[in-house]
Structure 1
Amino acid sequence: MPEDDPALSAAEQLALARLALAEGDLPHAADHVATALVQAPTLPEVHETLARVAAASGGDLELFPLGHHAFVGAVVARAHLLAAAGRPAEGLDLLAAATGHAPGADWAGVPWVTAPELPERLDPDRTARILMQLCAAVPDPVPRRLRDPLRAYLTLARNAVTVHPGHPLLLGAASALARRLGEATLAVTWAARGVRAQPSKLGEVWLGYAYRSAGRTRDALTALRRAVALDPDDLAVYADIAGTLADHGRLDEALDWIDRALAKDPTFDCAVHTAHRLRFQRDGDPAHLVALADFARDHPDDSHEHGDLAECCRSRPWLGQVTPAGGPVLDALRRALAVEGGARAAVRLDALEPPSAMRTVAAAVPGLDVEVATVADPDPREPRRATTRPLWRYEGTVAAPTLPAPSAEAAERIRQLARPAWPHPPAAYDTAVGLATLELADLLGLLVHPPEAPATALGRVLAGQDPSLWVRCVQVWACLGLLHHRTDEPWAESTRRRVLLELVWGVEDWITECALFALVTAAWVDPAARPDVAGVVAERLADAAAVARERRVPIVVSLAHLALATPDLDPTTRDLARELIRGTVDDRSRPGLFARLRRHLAALFRHP
């Protein structure tokens, strides 16, 4: 990168490049041109200046060096110089690499790439491999917002197919690119021509995928079955057939195909991932997901990245997201937030709500008067078991933290990391390593002194729609951070286990849920901890169920969902959890605010 201000416009970078050229300083001229290419990859003036640098240097490619940490602008500049030097295949290789690095930039939208005569100068096998390289580098399918920068490659594919109309590999690779760019009909046409030109396993797979994208499921399955007949040992195709069948409700057939694949190779990653996903889809038993997480941990060198575990956990309580809290005091909070001008309001509670809920309401709506009619037994202000680390003290029905506020560094760290959703529990654990260097006092302080939400899109949604969800996010991630505290200590005698247990058995609160989730997460990532954690979860849920027979327990449904996410939980506790979920009218099941909030969050977390 040039040393100049990276915020300079492309025009300013080009002006500096021309000054450097005039002074004979070719390296600095090249640096400025490369930066301008990143900012405006199709601007004619950029390419004119690049041509001047090439002419002045005699076409010296080393002005745009490749290396382990090559600048993408230098890679693209070198690609254009290679094409100008009569080596377009090498240039296309570099453009494809740049697209894989930054698919949102129009690196290939230049005349030499889209010229109809270019494919005549390329070996069709090489063109096919370049298209396949592109397909491997971009999402399948490519999101609409990212398709336009890839249109030049589709034009290249059209031109190549016109020049080489019977080349099976080129037709298949072109079909794969067209399919990713939403051109399903074109993808079917090209793939079918490729199979007619030369039947092959790969050609039938491309055709099957094209049919599937076009909504022609029966034809897709027929093509994929032909692929299996041509190569019975390619177990990835078995998994593709199973996935296609499952997507159309034919789960038994799908599992039959997966079982056939596993009979050939019980460790084949695509088949294992698909098998666990489909079995969870069939019976909803999280044991399949835990087994899948174990397999992924024990086989880090799988053939490619899989999304089955994340797909199964998405939007499920505690497996993929924190559950929003409910209750009358939060209903009052949401009503108050919905009133223009924040009019003063009052609410009378039949029973005391969790201290985190009461504190969240007091902070969000200072003018809201809250009166608690009674404090039912068992007294929710008392910890469920004796603790050496109380987080709250009460004056009547008003709770106050017993711990000092966390450091500014801890508050900023949690702002950057906390969010209401995660791919799956092991991924949440891995992300929380960013809190590993925080002191224990800071992690505990965050639980009762949550900082304000960040000034991001997520923070604005949470602050405006439901501040309680941001507080729960902070508490979840602070407890996950506790899992990374003194990890050199053996689990059974560790500080992290002891602290989390005290939080689990402390005053009935949102923190109870979050600490229990941290323990459940520990069980997901450490099989040796599973018997211990399953025992804790069973005890805590049984205690909550017993209390719920005497009075309302606001967190009992959430604890039940946590139990269902716990590895190796005993069947009796699992049945109890299901009964609690079925038998409790949960405020979170109501339409309205949460439906709107979920839509906001879905938009924020939608992946490309």
Structure 2
Amino acid sequence: MAEGTDDRALPATEELDLARRALDSGDLAHAADHVAGALARAPTLPEVHETLAQLAAASGDGGLGLFPLQHQTFIGAVVARAHLLAAAGRPAEGLDLLVAATANAPGADWAGVPWVTSPELAERIGPDQAARVLMQVCAAAPDPVPPADRAALAAYLTLARNAVTVHPEHSLLLGTASALARRVDEVPLAVRWASRSVRAAPSKMGEVWLGYALRSAGRTREALAALRRAVDHDPDDLAVYADIAGTLADHGRLDEALGWIERALARNPSFDCAVHTAHRLRFQRDGDVRHLVALADFIRDNPDDSHEHGDLAECCRGRPWLGQLTPAAPAAEEPEPTGIKAGPAARELEPTTAETGPAARESGAAAAEAGPTADEPGPVTAEAATLAPVARPAPPSAEAARRLRQLAHPAWPHPPAAYDAAVALATLDLPDLLGLLAHPPEAPQTALGRVLADQDPTLWVRCVQVWTCLGLLHHRTDEPWADSTRQRVLVGLARGAEVTEAALFALVTAAWVDPAVRPDVARLVTERLTTVAEAARERPVPVAASLAHLALATPDLDPGTRALARSLAGVPGGRQRGRLRALLRRLLRPLRPRIPGPPMP
């Protein structure tokens, strides 16, 4: 369904004026186009519906032939056809089209017209049809619906009220009405309708609807009881087990939650809801990233899950490198020595004035482009790389800078999602990518760019570095990883000074999406973290905490290195991290809370 971005930009009043002119001249096809345009902009305006009725009267088939359904149909034409179907005595078909429009553009009040909100409609379509329509609305709507979009669903809630009034004992209708009411924050009404549904005809779905409504009302004990009754109705519906586990975990009862999810996995170890919930709860229990990596592997190997899950993003949200980058930490705010024994490599990670200035950025990127010398092994190893200096990279092309500005952001759902997003840089050549590192473009003139410029300009440069290095992962992907340009360049950058963190994050991300590279990446991360720990024994190292968090995000890291990373990451440094969290709260819209189980209830 096309939303109407096809160069239509006229206000509804102008579309109506053109429609009337075309209608007066007998050009019904052009009149229909303009009526559709007016409906797309003002779907409840009475004058639009009056003109649509005139157009229907002038045609030979009630106007339906003027608004055919095709593979791609303008949304205004879909809505026009819905109203004409209702006028022709086929309101159920019209409702189906309105729901489709709502799913396509949920912020518009497509159904807010008299024939939908009339009590007579509920009598005409019957309870089963009304329940089916409400199911479709619930399937199309997020849970909960954002406050700004709730008014657009008011007509459907009115339909639910009318239908429940006419059919007060229809269990399925009451349950679906409860589901819609809960989504638009009519929680007491949702509880009443769900309770009536269970009394009318006890069933698994009735108990699920009641459990969800009670949970939204904060009545957790009663909600869990309802969900347990749902399990009694159907012990094989493992989505309900996941619901119970998620509810228990949300209220601090993690051991009970894990017990329920283990029961589900014992019945079906590959059931997607149970697997997602299990890995999320295990991560909540011990904070070990291996659970999230295992979940990412499951998602990659099972792309046809029953519905969308948000467990991986929920676990990664707000966590350094799992869901956002860390801010640059000034040396003055670095931790005191941690007691880790120093070694000969302790000075390697101590930035000098030259290493942290523009010259270091240039030489690091240039060295990465040059690649290893003949003495350096190709794959990732524990030995330090010796890179030959070359000329400074040229500035990036305007197109490269444009793409980077559109992409760069200080947060992402999880590492595989960041990898997927960075494909937008896949067609840039290597000089452009290195040019972005050596010559970071200015922040975009957007809300994000302005906030970064005002609050923390260095954060934008780090965004550029992170997303450019992620873009390098998509460079020449036809080359086998061990001998690839992308691996060689990123390893060189990771062993430099200026973009160490960004390059390491890209390599860690590669390990998330490709299990074959995990041993090499884990060795490199161990090498860098060990060097940092030795340096931190003698002097503050600005990147220590950040690299420790990177290590904690690395797949297949050995237990000793993970313990070392925990030690480094746990050292105070809260002012910088707290400032970033506050900044990200301003930048990021609230994400939809996780609603376990199937998407409909």
Q: Is TM (by shorter chain) over 0.5? A: yes
Aligned residues: 554
The Cα offsets for residues 428-458 of structure 1, whole Å up to 9 and x where unpaired, read as 0000000000010111111121111111111
Say which SS state the counterpart of residue 122 (structure 1) adopts: helix
Map of 2:39 onto structure 1: 37
- Give the direction of change, closer, same or farther, for the CA distance of 1:68–1:4 in structure 2 (3 Å limit): closer
The aligned amino acid for 1:210 is A
Say which SS state the counterpart of residue 147 (structure 1) adopts: helix
- Give the direction of change, closer, same or farther, for the CA distance of 1:70–1:529 in structure 2 (3 Å limit): same
Inter-partner Cα distance in structure 2 for 1:220 and 1:307: 22
- Give the direction of change, closer, same or farther, for the CA distance of 1:440–1:204 in structure 2 (3 Å limit): same
**1:178 CA displacement:** 0.2
**In the alignment, which of 507, 513, 527 is matched to residue 539 of structure 1?**
527
Q: Does 1:388 align with 2:391?
A: no
- Give the direction of change, closer, same or farther, for the CA distance of 1:86–1:530 in structure 2 (3 Å limit): same
Q: Does 1:479 align with 2:469?
A: yes
Map of 1:114 onto structure 2: 117
**In the alignment, which of 568, 572, 584 is matched to residue 556 of structure 2?**
568
Inter-partner Cα distance in structure 2 for 1:521 and 1:356: 25
**1:94 CA displacement:** 0.7
Inter-partner Cα distance in structure 2 for 1:354 and 1:390: 17
Say which SS state the counterpart of residue 123 (structure 1) adopts: helix
Inter-partner Cα distance in structure 1 for 2:446 and 2:592: 17
Map of 2:369 onto structure 1: none
Inter-partner Cα distance in structure 1 for 2:110 and 2:152: 7
The aligned amino acid for 1:15 is D
- Give the direction of change, closer, same or farther, for the CA distance of 1:273–1:310 in structure 2 (3 Å limit): same
**In the alignment, which of 401, 407, 412 is matched to residue 417 of structure 1?**
407
**1:358 CA displacement:** 6.9
**1:206 CA displacement:** 0.6
Q: Does 1:278 align with 2:266?
A: no
Inter-partner Cα distance in structure 1 for 2:85 and 2:278: 47
Contact 2:333–2:573 under 8 Å retained in 1: no
Map of 2:587 onto structure 1: 601
Inter-partner Cα distance in structure 1 for 2:449 and 2:22: 45
**In the alignment, which of 160, 167, 170 is matched to residue 167 of structure 1?**
170
Say which SS state the counterpart of residue 119 (structure 2) adopts: coil
The structure 1 segments of at least 4 consecutive aligned residues displaced by more than 4 Å after TM superposition are 1-5, 328-331, 350-360, 584-587, 605-608
The Cα offsets for residues 316-367 of structure 1, whole Å up to 9 and x where unpaired, read as 0000001111216999xxxxxxxxxxxxxxxxxx98468567799xxxxxxx
Contact 2:494–2:500 under 8 Å retained in 1: yes
**1:594 CA displacement:** 3.8
Residue pairs, 1:56-95, within 5 angstroms: 56-58=58-60, 59-95=62-98
The Cα offsets for residues 40-90 of structure 1, whole Å up to 9 and x where unpaired, read as 010011111111111111313131121222211111111100111111111
Contact 1:313–1:319 under 8 Å retained in 2: yes
Contact 2:178–2:194 under 8 Å retained in 1: yes
The Cα offsets for residues 138-173 of structure 1, whole Å up to 9 and x where unpaired, read as 110111111111111101100000000010000000
Map of 1:499 onto structure 2: 489
Map of 2:212 onto structure 1: 209
Taking structure 2 as the reference length, what is the TM-score of the superposition?
0.88
The Cα offsets for residues 360-390 of structure 1, whole Å up to 9 and x where unpaired, read as 9xxxxxxxxxxxxxxxxxxxxxx97421356
Structure with larger RCO (C-alpha < 8 A, sep 6+): 2
Q: Does 1:182 align with 2:170?
A: no
Map of 1:258 onto structure 2: 261
**In the alignment, which of 554, 558, 561 is matched to residue 542 of structure 2?**
554
Inter-partner Cα distance in structure 1 for 2:123 and 2:77: 27
Contact 2:272–2:306 under 8 Å retained in 1: yes
Map of 1:453 onto structure 2: 443
The aligned amino acid for 1:103 is P
Inter-partner Cα distance in structure 1 for 2:353 and 2:307: 47
Inter-partner Cα distance in structure 2 for 1:50 and 1:474: 52
CA RMSD of aligned residues (A): 2.3
Map of 2:29 onto structure 1: 27
**In the alignment, which of 130, 135, 138 is matched to residue 135 of structure 1?**
138
Contact 1:329–1:353 under 8 Å retained in 2: no
Map of 2:14 onto structure 1: 12
**1:254 CA displacement:** 0.6
Map of 2:479 onto structure 1: 489
Contact 1:329–1:358 under 8 Å retained in 2: no
**1:20 CA displacement:** 1.3
Unaligned runs of 5+ in 2: 335-349, 361-382, 594-601
- Give the direction of change, closer, same or farther, for the CA distance of 1:267–1:596 in structure 2 (3 Å limit): closer
**1:127 CA displacement:** 0.7
Contact 2:472–2:486 under 8 Å retained in 1: yes
- Give the direction of change, closer, same or farther, for the CA distance of 1:5–1:321 in structure 2 (3 Å limit): closer
Say which SS state the counterpart of residue 106 (structure 2) adopts: coil
Map of 1:101 onto structure 2: 104
**In the alignment, which of 46, 49, 57 is matched to residue 47 of structure 1?**
49
Inter-partner Cα distance in structure 1 for 2:331 and 2:291: 37
Contact 1:406–1:443 under 8 Å retained in 2: yes
Inter-partner Cα distance in structure 1 for 2:491 and 2:206: 57
Residue pairs, 1:508-527, within 5 angstroms: 508-509=497-498, 511-527=499-515
- Give the direction of change, closer, same or farther, for the CA distance of 1:35–1:251 in structure 2 (3 Å limit): same
**1:602 CA displacement:** 3.4
Map of 2:240 onto structure 1: 237
Inter-partner Cα distance in structure 1 for 2:245 and 2:202: 23
Say which SS state the counterpart of residue 569 (structure 1) adopts: coil
The Cα offsets for residues 503-562 of structure 1, whole Å up to 9 and x where unpaired, read as 0111x22x1000000000000000111111111111111122222334332111111100
The aligned amino acid for 1:601 is L
Inter-partner Cα distance in structure 1 for 2:515 and 2:352: 38
Inter-partner Cα distance in structure 1 for 2:124 and 2:355: 73
Contact 1:557–1:584 under 8 Å retained in 2: no
Residue pairs, 1:275-424, within 5 angstroms: 275-327=278-330, 352=352, 385-388=385-388, 402-424=392-414
